[in-house]
């Protein structure tokens, strides 16, 4: 979460919520890093507030986005509670925006989760001490209330001290959430929704059931890729649970190889490094609490390791051409040559439209970007981010369609460099992705 490659407002807010949630569980150096990052995130999101008080998804967008605005509000309130400086004017304008949308809302078909957007608005207002009881009651009485909205609304009732109402609601709610089939303005997923349920159970004092759901959430986080949305809601819920299940004291003996270390901590989580060549690890729990352990093995791939091409739901192709239109080989280009990279991304699904796609083209160190606009179709892009060493485009792609991007490049520095893979992925569905193979790019005299 400290180095996420994209910069939409949802991801910034999610990053902030996650870092605030896990800060107390981090080693001191990592915690200091978080302390330095939070003010920067606050500054970035505040710059994206629009005149109506809401927040836009992208820096260049003029339209506010409801779910994102609630996420930013939650992040700012959490940051303020942790002692970080947050503009009172920004918060006041955001509060007026939330209250206006709360009053304008009318009960509607829950298929698109508009009711969840309303429940989240109510939750964030209650978090800031400005609960809208009338609107909460009206939403509760809706005949078509979605389970997601029900869990979030139950959390809101708990925040306002009405835990009996929350517990009654929870008793009738399901937590076996299914995969989203329609376009979703809340960036949702079953894991995100399960994390919302976990937070609601904790607030309603149902710790036994919360422990069971927490195990499912934790397993999902450690078993594969997850989105920023999932990380934010999961870590926030787990932090809330950790604060309710006792003192969190950890006491254990960790033996690997011929060495034994004692681990003593009052934190809910402890990280330690071990010698990877020591063989097996034996952990003895010397505390009275249940201790959960996880062994993570990581390595740094060699610089010359080749990335293989792959495709799942998306297709991607890159062609390099000289100024005369002739196709050229990027593995060897004469110094001073100007040429164009043409990237084509296609949606290979026959049934599904893809939103929130991110296409990233990193360039070899010996190349320079001359002009990102030449021949490119930037209409209907969500956003674009052009840096010294890369281009990033954000866009949507209906099923069975494709889109082409062109970038003008210059072979500037003599030498042999890594040609990075060009990658496109769905930011809120990590399984939908495609990338070219990496290679070598030589710039010759």
What residue ranges do the domains of the chain occupy?
9-242, 246-298, 310-444
Distance of CA 226 to the CA centre of its chain: 8
The answer, yes or no, to whether residue 300 has pLDDT greater than 70, is: no
Please state which architecture CATH assigns to domain 9-242: Alpha/alpha barrel (1.50)
What are the E-state strand segments in 297-349?
310-312, 314-322, 332-334, 338-347
pLDDT category of residue 383 using cuts at 50, 70 and 90: confident
State mean pLDDT over 185-202.
Answer: 95
User: Backbone dihedral region of 257: left (phi > 0), alpha (psi from -120 to 50 degrees) or beta?
Assistant: left
The answer, yes or no, to whether residue 301 has pLDDT greater than 60, is: no
Task: Give backbone dihedrals phi and psi of 43, rounded to 5 degrees, phi first.
Answer: -60, -45
Q: Higher-confidence residue: 313 or 177?
A: 313
State mean pLDDT over 152-156.
Answer: 98
The answer, yes or no, to whether residue 303 has pLDDT greater than 80, is: no
The reported pLDDT for the residue numbered 114 is 92
The CATH number, out of the four listed (2.60.40.690, 1.20.1250.20, 3.40.50.1100, 1.10.1740.10), of the domain defined by the range 310-444: 2.60.40.690
The string of pLDDT tens digits covering residues 2-46 is 667 788 999 999 999 999 999 988 888 889 999 999 999 999 999
Sequence-distant (6+) residues with CB within 8 A of 54 are 64, 65, 66, 69, 94, 97
Whole-model pTM: value is 0.86
The answer, yes or no, to whether residue 1 has pLDDT greater than 70, is: no
Mean of the per-residue pLDDT values of the chain: 90
The three-state DSSP-derived secondary structure of 131-191 is CCHHHHHHHHCCCCCCHHHHHHHHHHHHHCCCHHHHHHHHHCCCCCCCCCCCCCCCCCCHH
Tell me the Cα Rg of the chain: 25
Q: Decide: 236 and 21 in contact? Cβ < 8 Å.
A: yes
State mean pLDDT over 86-111.
Answer: 92
Helices 9-22 and 28-46, interaxial angle, to 10°? 150
The reported pLDDT for the residue numbered 146 is 93
The answer, yes or no, to whether residue 262 has pLDDT greater than 80, is: yes
Region of poorest pLDDT, from 94-103, 205-214, 261-270: 261-270
- The arrangement of strands across the sheet holding 314-322 comes to 314-322, 338-347, 402-411, 367-371
The reported pLDDT for the residue numbered 125 is 98
The reported pLDDT for the residue numbered 375 is 46
The reported pLDDT for the residue numbered 309 is 96
- Of 77, 67, 227, 79, nearest in space to 152 by CA: 67
The string of pLDDT tens digits covering residues 38-89 is 999 999 999 999 999 999 999 989 999 999 999 999 999 999 999 999 999 9
């Amino acid at each position: 979460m400290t180095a996420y490659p994209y910069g939409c407002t949802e991801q910034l807010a999610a990053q902030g919520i996650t870092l605030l949630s896990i800060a107390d569980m981090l080693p001191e150096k990592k915690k200091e890093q978080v302390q330095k990052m939070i003010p920067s995130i606050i500054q970035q999101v505040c710059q994206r507030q629009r005149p109506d008080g809401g927040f836009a998804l992208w820096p260049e967008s003029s339209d506010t986005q409801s779910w994102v605005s609630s996420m930013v509000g939650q992040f700012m309130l959490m940051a303020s509670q942790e002692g970080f400086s947050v503009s009172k004017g920004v918060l006041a304008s955001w509060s007026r925006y939330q209250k206006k949308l709360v009053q304008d809302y009318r009960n509607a078909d829950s298929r698109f989760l508009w009711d969840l957007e309303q429940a989240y608005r109510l939750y964030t207002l209650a978090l800031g001490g400005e609960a809208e009881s009338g609107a909460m009651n009206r939403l509760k009485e809706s005949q078509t209330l979605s389970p997601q909205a029900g869990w979030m609304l139950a959390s809101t009732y708990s925040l306002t001290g009405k835990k009996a109402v929350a517990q009654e609601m929870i008793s009738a709610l399901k937590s076996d959430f299914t995969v989203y089939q329609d376009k979703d303005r809340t960036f949702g997923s079953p894991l995100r929704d399960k994390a919302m349920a976990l937070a609601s159970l904790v607030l309603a004092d149902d710790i036994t059931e919360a422990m069971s759901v927490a195990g499912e959430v934790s397993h999902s986080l450690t078993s594969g890729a997850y989105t920023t949305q999932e990380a934010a809601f999961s870590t926030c819920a787990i932090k809330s649970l950790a604060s309710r299940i006792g003192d969190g004291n950890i006491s254990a003996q960790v033996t690997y190889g011929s060495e034994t270390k004692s681990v003593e901590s009052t934190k809910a989580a402890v990280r330690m490094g071990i010698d990877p060549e020591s063989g097996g690890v034996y952990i003895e729990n010397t505390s009275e609490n249940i201790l959960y352990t996880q062994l993570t093995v990581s390595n740094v791939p060699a610089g010359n390791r080749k990335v293989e091409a792959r495709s799942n739901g998306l297709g991607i192709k890159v062609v390099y051409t000289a100024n005369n239109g002739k196709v050229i080989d990027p593995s060897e280009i004469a110094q001073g040559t100007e040429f164009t990279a043409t990237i084509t991304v296609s949606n290979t699904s026959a049934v599904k439209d893809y939103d929130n796609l991110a296409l990233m083209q990193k360039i070899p160190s010996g190349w320079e970007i001359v002009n990102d606009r030449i021949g490119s179709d930037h209409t209907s892009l969500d956003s674009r981010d052009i840096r010294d060493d890369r281009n990033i485009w954000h866009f949507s792609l209906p099923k069975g369609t494709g889109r082409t991007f062109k970038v003008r490049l210059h072979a500037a520095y003599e030498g042999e460099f890594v040609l990075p893979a060009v990658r496109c992925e769905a930011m809120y569905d990590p399984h939908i992705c495609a990338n070219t193979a990496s290679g070598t790019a030589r710039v010759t005299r």
